[in-house]
Amino acid sequence: MSNKPGFWARNEFLIRRLHSLTGLVPVGAYMIVHLLVNASVAASPETFQRNVFSIHSLGALLPLVEWTFIFLPIMFHAFLGLAFTMGASPNYSEYRYNSNFRYTMQRATGLLAFVFIAWHVFHMHGWIHNEAWLHLIQGWGGMFKPYNAATSAAHAMQASVLYPILYTIGVLACVFHLSNGLFTMGITWGIWISPKAQTGAKCVTSIFGLALALVGITSIVGLWTLKDFKEIREKENTAYELLVEIGDIPPSEHKRDLPAEELDEAPAFNGPAPAEESED
């Protein structure tokens, strides 16, 4: 019987460094950009829509960019984090020191962020872009349409009073996980080792976390309080037609929501649409 260590044992140092690094770049960097773009809806729906149009101007390259720099790194970081959490030994209940509290919260918020991100992607994007699937989950998921960004996202956020609460909890968990992870990453990588350096880093990363939390809350409040849907939708559709005409974005009806004249008749959230009764 061979006593040769397995792949994980042989490469644990490298795997942990890669896990730490992907938490900052690209996952952390993407989260910062994502929250900033979403918060721009508080400036104006037009600003938010312009930012979304800029992203979707990548056209056919967008799925490649998303999978390379967003989805695969997030899955890599998330599943490795779950593996590390399963083997973690938090001792906060026995030793109530600040570092132990941060250790425990890092893993707790990681689990919460994992669940939140999975639900957020389902709620806004539906996970997969299959017509039969999207019809099945109608009223529950796949509610965001990038070419009608502000109005579709606001409809999704305002569909239930629970949504802004759930988003606030999820965003704060993600922000804490990133800011505290940035602090612990600096220790892991030997950037701040001395107690004085760690105290300064703790202060800087805490301020960064508070600022990013404010950005996240701004995006939620901006979508929750958005009104005048019909007027905004007309502007979104006008901008879409213009940008398609000049070639800045590729045309796509799948990325568009209800036309403006149908907004007043759009149903409130009641779960998936009931099946129509057949007449005898």
pLDDT per position as a tens digit, 232-277: 999 999 999 999 999 999 999 999 986 555 555 444 443 444 444 4
Predicted pLDDT at 262: 52
Q: Which helix (H) or strand (E) holds 67?
A: none
Predicted pLDDT at 176: 98
Spell out the residues 6+ positions from residue 158 whose beta carbon is closer than 8 angstroms to its own: 223, 224, 226
Predicted pLDDT at 130: 86
Q: Which amino acid appears at position 212 of this protein?
A: L
Q: Does pLDDT of 99 surpass 70?
A: yes
* Distance (Å, whole) CA 118 – CA 138: 17
* Distance (Å, whole) CA 123 – CA 55: 20
Burial (Cβ within 10 Å: 0-12, 13-18, ≥19) of residue 185: buried
- The string of pLDDT tens digits covering residues 193-209 is 999 999 999 999 999 99
% of the chain residues with pLDDT over 90: 73
Structure tokens that stand for 279 in this block:
């007449």
Burial (Cβ within 10 Å: 0-12, 13-18, ≥19) of residue 52: buried
Torsion of CA 26, 31, 32, 36, to 10 degrees: 140
For residue 57, how many other CB atoms are within 10 A of its CB?
14
Q: Which amino acid appears at position 11 of this protein?
A: N
Angle between helices 45-56 and 149-158 (to 10 degrees): 110
DSSP 68: I
Predicted pLDDT at 162: 97
**For 14-264, which CATH class?**
mainly alpha
- The string of pLDDT tens digits covering residues 5-26 is 777 778 888 888 999 999 999 9
| Residue 50 pLDDT class (50, 70, 90 cuts) | very high
Predicted pLDDT at 166: 98
Structure tokens that stand for 234 in this block:
């007309």
- 3-state percent breakdown (helix, strand, coil) of the chain, nearest 5: 75, 0, 25
The radius of gyration of the chain from alpha carbons, rounded to an integer in Å, stands at 22
Predicted pLDDT at 139: 87
Contact 57, 251 (CB under 8 A): no
Between residues 38 and 187, the one the model is more confident about: 38
* Distance (Å, whole) CA 263 – CA 241: 19
* Distance (Å, whole) CA 40 – CA 277: 43
Q: Does pLDDT of 279 surpass 50?
A: no
Q: Which helix (H) or strand (E) holds 71?
A: none
Phi, psi of 249 (to 5 degrees): -135, 150
Q: Does pLDDT of 115 surpass 90?
A: yes
Predicted pLDDT at 131: 86
Predicted pLDDT at 56: 96
Predicted pLDDT at 97: 56
C-alpha distances in angstroms, 152 versus 105, 125, 195, 257? 34, 11, 48, 7
Q: Which helix (H) or strand (E) holds 29?
A: helix 27-39
Predicted pLDDT at 129: 86
Mean pLDDT of 149-156: 96
- Model confidence pTM above 0.75: yes
Q: Does pLDDT of 112 surpass 80?
A: yes
Q: What is the mean pLDDT of the chain?
A: 88
| Residue 2 pLDDT class (50, 70, 90 cuts) | low
